[in-house]
Amino acid sequence: MSTEPRPEVSLKPLSGWHCSHLYYRFHRAALRQLTADERREAQDAFLAALDPAGAGAPTRLQSFVVSGHKADFGLLLLDPDPLVIDRVHHRLLAGPLGAVVEPAWSFVSMTEVSEYLPTIERFGQRLVEQGIDAKAQEYREKLDAYTRRLEIMRRQRLTPDLPVWPATCFYPMNKKRKVGENWFLLDFQERERLMSEHGESGMKFAGRVTQMITSAMGLDDWEWGVTLWARNPEFLRDIVYRMRFDEASARYAEFGPFYVGYLSSAAEILEHCRVGQEASS
């Protein structure tokens, strides 16, 4: 019988946060049926539900308009408690908003620290493999610098601060389990090598694109979710194109639908989607 203490029964992860990507459409026919007073009430409820500083808001809440007809707007929500996140969804659908807002798509996941993020020991081994003497001052300086960065990287992956760069893109992905292309049958060293190559491609876009990877195994249909933010939409296209040539993607990755949007407040979403104008026409 195991002598390890049983973990606490809780909805909160032992590390990191719950994460949801939610996408919606405005029901245009329903908007036209609302009276002027009902429209104002619905819009006020919308603004309150998506207020990042409002009472009961999740720890992180980011909203954006969505390009194309997959959805009108989207939300990115993170919190230690999944029900705090879920309440935002139900506030949108309850009351005066129920007939106006339609769910379009969702993705449920959790933040994580990738197993391919090198430990301090593994980073030291890489330095030796690069020909740096483990007793040299250069080795100690590089190892100390990485030790400081590692804590920051772990914290940003588990409890991320969301960037405010204007262009954002989200897509889910799987690793293949096909004969001859089964990611999960590769040994760790080979997977680590492939992911290191993939990471080096991404680093070429530092200062232009940043990302968040969340894990959905056991939580949703896809295994991981990739959220990208960019200073310019062109950089989203460029980084995805470049990284498709890495073997980790070219041979072993499968991708789901892409949702591209632009950061917007709740008020900006209503204006951009012409909710008031549409309803009053």
Phi and psi angles of residue 43, each rounded to the nearest 5 degrees, phi first: -65, -40
CB 88 within 8 A of CB 75: yes
Active-site residue among 23, 24, 171, 252?
171
Q: Which of 249, 256, 253, 115 is nearest to 178 (CA)?
A: 253
Nearby residues of 6 by Cβ (< 8 Å), 6 or more positions away: none
DSSP letters along the chain, please? ---SPPPPP-SS-SSS-EEEEEEEEE-HHHHHHS-HHHHHHHHHHHHHHT-TTSTT--SEEEEEEESSSS-SEEEEEEESSHHHHHHHHHHHHSGGGTTTEEEEEEEEEEE---TTSPPHHHHHHHHHHTT--TTSHHHHHHHHHHHHHHHHHHHHHHSPPPP--SEEEEEEEEE-EETTEEGGGS-HHHHHHHHHHHHHHHHTTTTTEEEEEEE-TTTSSSSEEEEEEESSHHHHHHHHHHHTTSHHHHTTEEE---EEEEE--HHHHHHHTTHHHHHH-
Amino acid letter at 116?
Answer: Y
171 is catalytic: yes
Catalytically active residues are 171
